Chains A and B, each alone.
Chain A
Amino acid sequence: DTGVSQDPRHKITKRGQNVTFRCDPISEHNRLYWYRQTLGQGPEFLTYFQNEAQLEKSRLLSDRFSAERPKGSFSTLEIQRTEQGDSAMYLCASSLGPELKLFFGSGTQLSVL
């Protein structure tokens, strides 16, 4: 097992376009988290799943954002009608159970022009 994998590593898009990111967690981890990080700030919670159930969504997550985790394995994060303010590093993390030792992927750096 090679850890949490995120794809793509970088994404450049034009304002108004839709983008989708993928995260493959560590295989035996049942929890999967999405965070967003901008320069000079810490990761900001977006949403998390336990198995296939989405248990919590941040109020910061507008209707343009949607996340799925079909079959409790990989997850996708979609942003519709991107805005320049969506430019950030999108981090995925997974953990086993409630101990919350988060294992992060390398992130997807999104630039909205």
Chain B
Amino acid sequence: TQLLEQSPQFLSIQEGENLTVYCNSSSVFSSLQWYRQEPGEGPVLLVTVVTGGEVKKLKRLTFQFGDARKDSSLHITAAQPGDTGLYLCAALGLNAGKSTFGDGTTLTVKP
């Protein structure tokens, strides 16, 4: 059973465009994280959101945690080729000691 659904699975855009990717679940999580992974490397943490409704910004990236703590979105403004990668969301359950990952969104930004 996949607890986290990420959409879209693939996204290919031109440099300079804006985009939003989503992470959804029917479960409530104590916190949610976004990672970026490049081919042949491990994921790298971008942000952790904890409070329902929380919005965090990291340069051109804006992360939002849903009010009910069941979903999250990642918005990238003016995408650049360096943003290309696999974007993963991961959630920590209310009583679990581990993170559960979605299957990711593969983003390609063309110059």
Contact of B100 among A45, A48, A99, A104 (CB under 8 A): A45
Q: How does the 8 Å CB contact mask read for A19-52 relative to B, with 1 for contact and 0 for none? A: 0000000000001010100001111110010100
Known: A100-B99, A106-B42, A107-B42. A42 touches B104 (CB 8 A): yes
The reply to whether B40 and A104 contact each other, CB–CB distance below 8 Å, is: no
Instruction: Indicate whether A102 reaches chain B with its CB closer than 8 angstroms.
Output: yes
| Chain B, interface SS category | strand
The reply to whether B42 and A45 contact each other, CB–CB distance below 8 Å, is: no
Residue of B whose beta carbon sits closest to that of A107:
B42
Interface size for B (C-beta < 8 A) is 23
Q: Hey, which bits of chain B sit against chain A, CB under 8 A?
A: 4, 6, 31, 33, 35, 40-45, 48, 88, 90, 92, 97-104
Interface size for A (C-beta < 8 A) is 27
